[in-house]
Structure 1
Amino acid sequence: MATDGECNGSTEADEFVIRVVPSFSQFTEAEWRMLAGTCRDDEKTPYNPFISHGFLSSLEEAGCAVRETGWQPQHLRLEGPGGVLLGAVPCFLKSHSQGEYVFDHGWADAFERAGGAYYPKLQVSVPFTPATGPRLLARRGGDPAPARGALAAGLTTLAERLGVSSAHVTFAPEPEVDALQQAGFLHRTDQQFHFRNQDYGSFDDFLSSLASRKRKAIRKERRDALGEAITIEWLSGRDLTEAVWDDFYRFYIDTGGRKWGRPYLTRRFFSLIGERMGNDILLVMARRGGRHIAGAINFIGGDTLFGRHWGCVEDHPFLHFEVCYYQAIAFAIERGLKVVEAGAQGPHKLARGYVPVTTHSAHFIAHPGLRRAVADYLDHERADVARVGAYFEDHAPFRKP
């Protein structure tokens, strides 16, 4: 396992070096903000809170994405003359496939039954976060293509030097997938459901765009969800007190323990992001009888609201839909955000105004035999994803012209 290393090369214009660093602390906040999409003053790339310095550093400092949990940092720094940061990749050496949301357990099982060792592997992602965003991060203000090409090649070089079975770049934008394919990665697709804000002036405007039956169903669900003297709060910034985080963490632990067996995020993580990026967070909390009974955490990007974790300590009909989906739509409309991403999977979101969207990942497989098998599998899987996506598009809940 490598901790530090270098890979020399050149772009069309400049000499560069790629360093592999064992901690996110090897990036200062000031230099990280020079990468596209990492801050709100980036005019070209919308801000993505999950690749912010505050989010990624908190994952490491809180003990969530560290060697002890199977996420050993192996981040790439692309440096120009004088050590100037030109690009970066959030990368981890992994001993399992948990917390990724792009599933390769079948590949691992097949390779190990054939006598291979699938783990460790390289994983390029934001840990525990199924949201598309920059992965081959390039410096703002210039053409990102040279940096992306250098970083993609750097990933294959690192995989070869470490002797790992594979390298995986998940929830990447399509232009980055193109650069990765040129470096020998295989293309994979999957599907999520997102809300698209069609410049609605209010939630009622959104409802008016739906077919009558769907519109009535949503109105009934919202009434039933709040029918037992339940109220909803939007909390952000200074509202995110430690007492609020205690309540939400109790919800998160309950849901995480039932869904995954072991929740990924620590209590300290929520305190850290509250301190570092509180204005980028929306907690939707449900209150009844003087206490919080349910909640969902969302992250506010430049043009997107990203829904993440939900939990509750009381069960009420349709409260999950209200807190996670309808309140997110209402917030996005009020703030003028273009999209709500509601996390992984979930065809049930279709009836609630969320439409199918294709997500992308890229995979470098070192062993020729495994690579051929995976490539054949992905050819069929991409066709299936496209076919299912077309079916869901045809069954969207919106009024027909």
Structure 2
Amino acid sequence: MANQISLRIVRKIADVARERWDALARVATPFVKWDWLDSLERSGCVDEATGWLPHHLVAEKGSDLVGACPMYLKLHSMGEFVFDYEWAEAAHRSGIQYYPKLLVGVPFTPVTGHRFLTAAGEDRAALIQLMGQALAKIATDNKVSSVHVNFCLADEREALSAVGFLPRNGIQYHWQNRAFDSFDDYLASFRSERRNKIKRERRAVAERGITIHAYEGAELTREHLRTMFRLYKVHVDRLYYGRQYLTAEFFDELHKRFADHLCVMLASRQGKFIAGTFNVRDRRALYGRYWGCFEEHPFLHFNVCYYSAIEHSIQLGLERFEAGAGGSFKQLRGLEPEHTTSMHYIVDGKFRRAVERFLDQEREMIRRKREMQLAQSQLKSHREEP
């Protein structure tokens, strides 16, 4: 295969025709679609000034595009949600320049999905290995410390492991649709104490005259998305560690060409929007991304971010709702811990061995943590009586 495939780096997604890229992303999440990636670039969210330099890898067989991966030359580790700050510090102490590094993934998006896009009919595992080997060589030849593939699929983990990448596990909290017919049906899946607490949390918001509505499709306007941007910015500005990754122009771009994949939950009180979440969806899942509020009310966050999203997912018949990174409190709302995977290629041999030892220990810790959390699940087991 290697003799038939040519590989090259493109410095902007617009250098690849939209139709050609999206033909590879036919079954992938919306986050690796051409319009999403191009919107990030056009709006200034990813560029040299932000420390995200597009270096997308494409694989061609003659005139056919048979493989690709969204990739960035990174000047820092912000906005990745797979935290390697300690690796950077350890590298510095060892006299190794950690930045720049290469990252295969979607900026600011901790959502598992295809990181290596491959054409139908091609040997996917062989293509992933070929591109993985090419990335390792690019890093070695250009004195780049490492290559990181974040939130990748199981088959990508297997293929990359065979060419020297190291696996790292994490935990996220996902809601799974157990063929629920309604929100009440979902509530019935909880143990009684937690079920009653959720009912009280929902009632407390309703008693304050707050309503929550999902805006999507033709109902979603540019003004809705501009409101969501303001909510996002207010939330980021409140956090001492907050960083604004997205621009108002990005939200405008998405409304123009990505609205079919968007779902904005907005909470209203006395005729004014007071809170909201920005979500992305496809035919199988809803992905929660950004939250913000102009007013603070008890349980508002849980209602807008989780309960309304789950209720909407049930109405649409979606398989799951992914609530993003962090937050073990999500388990109290019926989202259960799931493993995530990233893969890492470290060029320096001595440093690689140190990272490998760390990852061996961390994976075991993550495994035990997930087992402990599953044992503390608020959901009734299948063996329990209603």
Asked if these proteins are the same fold (TM beyond 0.5), I'd say yes
Query: For 2:101 and 2:143, how far apart are their aligned partners in 1?
Result: 9
List alignment gaps of at least 5 residues for structure 2. Answer: none
Query: For 2:219 and 2:315, how far apart are their aligned partners in 1?
Result: 19
Q: Which residue of 2 aligns with 1:29?
A: 18
Query: For 1:263 and 1:203, how far apart are their aligned partners in 2?
Result: 34
Q: Which residue of 1 aligns with 2:137?
A: 157
Match of 1:221 among 197, 201, 212: 201
Q: Which residue of 2 aligns with 1:3?
A: none
Query: For 2:181 and 2:123, how far apart are their aligned partners in 1?
Result: 37
Q: Which residue of 1 aligns with 2:258?
A: 277
Amino acid at match of 1:364: Y
Shift, 1:399, TM fit:
1.6
Amino acid at match of 2:57: L
Q: Report if aligned partners of 2:4, 2:61 keep a CA contact under 8 Å in 1.
A: yes
Shift, 1:262, TM fit:
2.6
Q: Which residue of 2 aligns with 1:304?
A: 285
Match of 1:336 among 317, 322, 328: 317
Q: Which residue of 1 aligns with 2:127?
A: 147
Amino acid at match of 1:225: V
Q: Which residue of 1 aligns with 2:275?
A: 294
Q: Report if aligned partners of 1:48, 1:302 keep a CA contact under 8 Å in 2.
A: no
Single out whichever of 237-246 and 386-395 deviates more from structure 2. 237-246
List alignment gaps of at least 5 residues for structure 1. Answer: 1-9, 40-44
Match of 2:50 among 43, 62, 69: 69
**Pair 1:102 & 2:82 matched:** yes
**Pair 1:348 & 2:329 matched:** yes
Match of 1:323 among 255, 279, 304: 304
**Pair 1:244 & 2:233 matched:** no
Query: For 1:181 and 1:143, how far apart are their aligned partners in 2?
Result: 17
Query: For 1:300 and 1:246, how far apart are their aligned partners in 2?
Result: 19
Q: Which residue of 2 aligns with 1:195?
A: 175
**Pair 1:16 & 2:17 matched:** no
Q: Give the 5 Å matches for 1:54-133.
A: 54-82=35-63, 84-133=64-113
Q: For residues 200-238 of structure 1, give each alpha carbon's deviation from its aligned partner in whole angstroms, at most 9, with x where no partner exists.
A: 111111111110111101111111122211111111123
Q: Report if aligned partners of 2:183, 2:314 keep a CA contact under 8 Å in 1.
A: yes
Q: Which residue of 1 aligns with 2:248?
A: 267
Amino acid at match of 2:282: G
Shift, 1:141, TM fit:
4.1
**Pair 1:390 & 2:371 matched:** yes
Shift, 1:397, TM fit:
0.9
Shift, 1:240, TM fit:
2.8
Q: Report if aligned partners of 1:64, 1:265 keep a CA contact under 8 Å in 2.
A: yes
Match of 1:178 among 158, 161, 169: 158
Secondary structure of the residue aligned to 1:275 is helix
Q: For residues 30-85 of structure 1, give each alpha carbon's deviation from its aligned partner in whole angstroms, at most 9, with x where no partner exists.
A: 101211xx34xxxxx4x411111111110111100112110011110000012x10
Q: Report if aligned partners of 1:153, 1:183 keep a CA contact under 8 Å in 2.
A: yes
Shift, 1:161, TM fit:
2.2
Secondary structure of the residue aligned to 2:298 is coil
Single out whichever of 229-238 and 141-150 deviates more from structure 2. 141-150
Q: CA RMSD in A?
A: 1.2
Query: For 1:166 and 1:305, how far apart are their aligned partners in 2?
Result: 32
Q: Report if aligned partners of 1:136, 1:152 keep a CA contact under 8 Å in 2.
A: no
Closer, same or farther in 2 for the Cα pair 1:226/1:143, shift >3 Å? farther
Q: Report if aligned partners of 1:304, 1:340 keep a CA contact under 8 Å in 2.
A: yes
Shift, 1:245, TM fit:
2.0
Q: Report if aligned partners of 1:192, 1:345 keep a CA contact under 8 Å in 2.
A: yes
Shift, 1:261, TM fit:
3.3
Secondary structure of the residue aligned to 2:172 is strand
Q: Report if aligned partners of 1:196, 1:354 keep a CA contact under 8 Å in 2.
A: yes
Q: Report if aligned partners of 1:294, 1:313 keep a CA contact under 8 Å in 2.
A: yes
Aligned length: 381
Shift, 1:115, TM fit:
1.6
Shift, 1:301, TM fit:
1.9
Query: For 1:271 and 1:383, how far apart are their aligned partners in 2?
Result: 43
Q: Report if aligned partners of 1:124, 1:169 keep a CA contact under 8 Å in 2.
A: yes
Query: For 1:129 and 1:229, how far apart are their aligned partners in 2?
Result: 33
Identity of aligned residues (%): 40
Q: Which residue of 1 aligns with 2:353?
A: 372
Amino acid at match of 1:378: L
Q: For residues 339-376 of structure 1, give each alpha carbon's deviation from its aligned partner in whole angstroms, at most 9, with x where no partner exists.
A: 11000011101110000000000000011111111100
Query: For 1:100 and 1:226, how far apart are their aligned partners in 2?
Result: 36
Secondary structure of the residue aligned to 1:265 is coil
* Structure 1 segments (4+ residues) deviating >4 Å: none
Secondary structure of the residue aligned to 1:15 is coil
**Pair 1:206 & 2:190 matched:** no
Q: Which residue of 2 aligns with 1:4?
A: none
Query: For 1:227 and 1:218, how far apart are their aligned partners in 2?
Result: 14
Q: Report if aligned partners of 1:226, 1:319 keep a CA contact under 8 Å in 2.
A: no
Query: For 2:331 and 2:356, how far apart are their aligned partners in 1?
Result: 30
Amino acid at match of 2:187: L
